[in-house]
Structure 1
Amino acid sequence: MGSPNRLRSCCGCASLKAGTIIAGTLGILLSIATIAIVVYAKLDYKTIIFDDIIPKYIIKIILIVNLCMTIILSSLLIIGALIKNQYLFLPWIILGIMLCIGLLVDVIYTAVVAFLDNKVEAGIYWLVFGLLAVVIYFYMWAVVLSHFLQLKEQNDRGRYSRTPYRR
């Protein structure tokens, strides 16, 4: 039956397994695209703190390493969904909620900075599309968490329902 707070499907039409694979695939594709942007685009990277202390190339390296870790964890998520091993979901679930919170903070911070710089349109853009991205990201995280709990429940039921060996 499951918990009433757990999702039963992805987007109302796909299985939690399919949603988990989609979340992992999107994580890989978005990370690869972001690495390409970081490497090839001439962008000015800023951090909330340490902006004057850390050289820009170090910020790029840290970002690329984090994106490579996201690719690895998303790959583990996909493998875990395919072989029904919920433990391979855990790194992605932990990283996912941290990234979701970080994305929320970044969206709010960027919008506030835009408003303070009298860039009202940019601030509205960041709030609308940034918060939409946060909601979508959180939903996909909830899909993965629901599939994790579903697999855990199935595995626990299977483990404890076996009859002991008798001679």
Structure 2
Amino acid sequence: MGCKVDRLTSCCGCGSLKAGTIIAGMLGILLSIATIVIILTTKIDFKTVIFDDWISKSAIKIILIVNLCMTIILSALLIVGAIIRNQYLFLPWIILGIMLCIGLLVDVIYTAVVFFIDDHTTAGILWLVIGLICVVIYFYLWYVVLSHFLQLKEQNDRGRYSRTPYRR
């Protein structure tokens, strides 16, 4: 038998899961575009945890931009999937989303620890608090999309317009 997952029935208590899914996809696109613009227009020194010693700074920027372009494509697929009610178009975003959520959590904790080690306590606390709030919001949006995916899957498995037969 399968594992039953509890799911949400609405987004933020008042919106539909479909609307929440479309909003999550639009936010993915907008934040990715904004990040690409920031990468291309500022002189931010990006650092990585593992590859910082043997990959150039420009290569790191290129890798980030390619990843952000993939996020834009997967977010667009998510929006299309929500509009045409195709649950399979959700899957790439759902998989990417949970990986990004875990990565964001690791990044927030790692960066906060670096701030604390460098005696930037206030920055570490702010990074930790704001970062964890972002992780919670991101995870919630991911859960909205997963809930809508499961809702569509259930409807498609039983037939979208089927009902239980009328009994006398």
Give the counterpart letter for 1:87 in structure 2.
Answer: Y
**Runs of at least 4 residues of structure 1 off by over 2 A?**
none
Find out whether 1:156 has 2:157 as its counterpart.
Answer: yes
Give the distance between the partners of 2:44 and 2:126, measured in 1 at CA: 19
User: What is the number of residues matched between the two proteins?
Assistant: 160
In the alignment, what sits opposite 1:43? Answer: 44
Q: CA deviation at 1:108?
A: 0.3
Q: Report the Cα distance in structure 2 between the residues aligned to 1:123 and 1:144, rounded to whole angstroms.
A: 31
Secondary structure of the 2:14 match is: coil
Q: Spell out, residue by residue over 1:24-55, the C-alpha distance to the aligned partner (whole angstroms, 9 max, x if none).
A: 00000000000000111111110001211110
Deviation for aligned residue 1:4: 7.2
Q: Which amino acid aligns with 1:61?
A: I
- Once the two structures are superposed, the pairs formed by residues 25-44 of structure 1 within 5 Å of their partners are 25-44=26-45
Counterpart-to-counterpart distance in 2, 1:70 and 1:125 = 27
The alignment's TM-score, normalised by the length of structure 2, stands at: 0.92
| 2:166 counterpart residue number | none
Partner of 1:5: 6
What code does the residue aligned with 1:23 have?
A: A
What is the alpha-carbon distance in structure 2 between the residues aligned to residue 26 and residue 50 of structure 1?
A: 29
Question: How high is the sequence identity, in percent, across the aligned residues?
Answer: 79
Where does the alignment leave 5 or more consecutive residues of structure 1 unmatched?
Answer: 163-167
Deviation for aligned residue 1:104: 0.2
Question: Within the alignment, does 1:99 sit opposite 2:106 as a pair?
Answer: no
Gaps of 5+ in 2: 164-168
Partner of 2:54 in structure 1? 53
Cα RMSD (Å) = 1.6
